[in-house]
């Protein structure tokens, strides 16, 4: 059961329900009820307890590379991709405090005194085509904000600190969490992915930059400066292409401008309804002769009978439209149950990009 809390901290419960069905674990309505059922089944026999422990370890290892991830993608020279993957596969895990418990996360209190940076902790076995996945661990700071009213604080506290002129207060709590960051070289597609955990309220951009610097440090001794990761693929063109492609999943969020001078940000309340077909959106689009300029989009895909949905968010901003060549350097992928589904979702975005020159 040592992996239960780390899984709970990283995985949306609908994904956990799918994992439970696949791994012969009980299902329940919510994490607390699932925990009770697991603890009951552990008491059945030593063999069942071992099965549950193994299943939870397997599920956690899966969450290390998937989950909600901010992703940068770089194109590699096709003839160099196999060699790059092979070189990275030769590296050994670095000596770091993370290795003492890997893959189990380190306690938050221990993270507070650990050095900054990311450290190589695992090198996956090369895939059939030579593709390679590396796992790095580091620490991130999460900020949790909680609003309080004067009534909740009480007059004594308000008066003690001289806050009488304020009506509402926001408290910020910061804590360290261990991050699992992924580098994957896809030999067949000649792509290199950087994936970092996308925690709510955390700047994933700085984590992606840190991981990019780390990988460049690994590549430099073997390939020199000519193969440094500099400019990730520009994902901005995929925003409009995904929205325009009626066969590309269901659009659940869209930011766009119109030629009449307005900007809109629309979201669907139903997770399985397509904004492209929503009555208000269709009517508004017709009123401006169908001329929209999207700058942000979220698209979901779900297989028939599947409870979970893979989603890609291309988080462009209206400011990008002011540039002659709008540029978006990352996407956010979520909802993927397995590495294969993660790859399929990423490929859907790549398929909607212009062909490389």
46-89 residue pLDDT tens: 999 999 999 999 999 888 888 899 999 999 999 999 999 999 99
User: Which pTM was predicted?
Assistant: 0.88
Q: Within 13 Å, how many C-alpha atoms sit on residue 116's CB side? A: 6
Q: 298 pLDDT exceeds 90?
A: yes
- Four-CA torsion 218, 347, 135, 204, nearest 10 degrees: 90
**CB-based burial, 203-217: b 16+ in 10 Å, e otherwise:** ebeebbebbbebbee
Q: How far is CA 133 from the centre of its chain?
A: 16
Q: Is the pLDDT of residue 302 over 90?
A: no
Q: Tokens for 302?
A: 């779900």
Q: What percent of the chain has pLDDT over 90?
A: 57
Quote the CA–CA distance of 119 and 71 in Å, as a whole number: 18
Confirm if 291 and 243 have CB atoms less than 8 A apart: no
Q: Is it the case that residue 318 has pLDDT exceeding 80?
A: yes
Distance CA 111, CA 109 (A): 5
Confidence of residue 162 (pLDDT cuts 50, 70, 90): confident
Q: What is the CA radius of gyration of the chain?
A: 23
Contact present, 258 and 291 (Cβ < 8 Å): yes
pLDDT class of 205 with cuts at 50, 70, 90? confident
Task: Enumerate the β-bridge partners of residue 123.
Answer: 134
Question: Does the pLDDT at position 40 exceed 70?
Answer: yes
Give all strands (DSSP E) within 230-339, no chain letters.
Answer: 250-258, 263-267, 292-301, 310-314, 331-334
Average pLDDT over the chain reads 89
| Distance, CA of 165 to CA of 159 (rounded, Å) | 10
Q: How many helices (H) and strands (E) does the chain have?
A: 12, 10
Model confidence at 237, in pLDDT bands (50, 70, 90)?
very high
pLDDT tens-place string over residues 219-228: 888 887 778 8
CB neighbours (10 Å) of residue 47?
8
pLDDT tens sequence across 88-138: 999 999 999 899 889 988 887 888 888 888 999 999 888 989 999 999 999
Residue 144: pLDDT above 80?
no
């Amino acid at each position: 059961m040592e992996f239960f809390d780390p899984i709970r901290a990283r995985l949306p419960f609908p994904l956990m329900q799918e994992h439970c069905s696949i791994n012969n674990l009980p299902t329940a309505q919510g994490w607390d009820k699932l925990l009770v059922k697991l603890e009951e089944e552990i008491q059945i026999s030593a063999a069942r307890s071992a099965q549950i422990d193994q299943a939870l370890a397997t599920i956690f290892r899966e969450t290390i590379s998937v989950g909600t991830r901010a992703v940068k993608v770089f194109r590699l020279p096709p003839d160099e991709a196999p060699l790059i993957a092979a070189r990275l596969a030769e590296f050994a895990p670095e000596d770091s405090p993370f290795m003492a418990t890997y893959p189990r996360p380190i306690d938050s209190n221990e993270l507070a005194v650990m050095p900054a940076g990311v450290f190589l902790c695992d090198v996956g076995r090369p895939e059939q085509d030579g593709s390679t996945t590396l796992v790095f661990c580091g620490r991130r700071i999460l900020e949790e904000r909680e609003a309080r009213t004067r009534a909740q604080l009480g007059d004594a506290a308000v008066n003690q600190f001289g806050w009488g002129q304020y009506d509402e207060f926001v408290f910020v709590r910061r804590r360290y969490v261990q991050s699992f960051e992924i580098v994957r070289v896809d030999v067949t597609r000649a792509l290199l992915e950087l994936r970092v955990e996308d925690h709510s309220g955390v700047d994933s951009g700085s984590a992606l930059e840190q991981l990019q610097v780390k990988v460049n440090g690994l590549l430099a001794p073997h390939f020199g400066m000519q193969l440094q990761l500099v400019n990730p693929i520009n994902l901005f063109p995929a925003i409009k292409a995904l929205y325009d492609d009626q066969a590309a999943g269901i659009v659940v969020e869209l930011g766009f401008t119109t030629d009449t001078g307005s900007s809109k940000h629309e979201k669907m309340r139903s997770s399985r309804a397509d904004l492209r077909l929503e009555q208000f959106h269709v009517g508004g689009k017709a009123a401006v002769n169908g001329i929209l300029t999207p700058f942000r989009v979220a698209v979901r895909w779900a297989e028939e009978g599947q409870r979970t949905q893979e989603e890609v968010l291309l988080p462009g901003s209206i400011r990008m439209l002011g540039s002659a060549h709008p540029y978006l350097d990352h996407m956010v992928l979520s909802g993927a149950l397995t590495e294969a589904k993660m790859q399929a979702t990423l490929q859907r975005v790549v398929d909607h990009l212009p062909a490389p020159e």
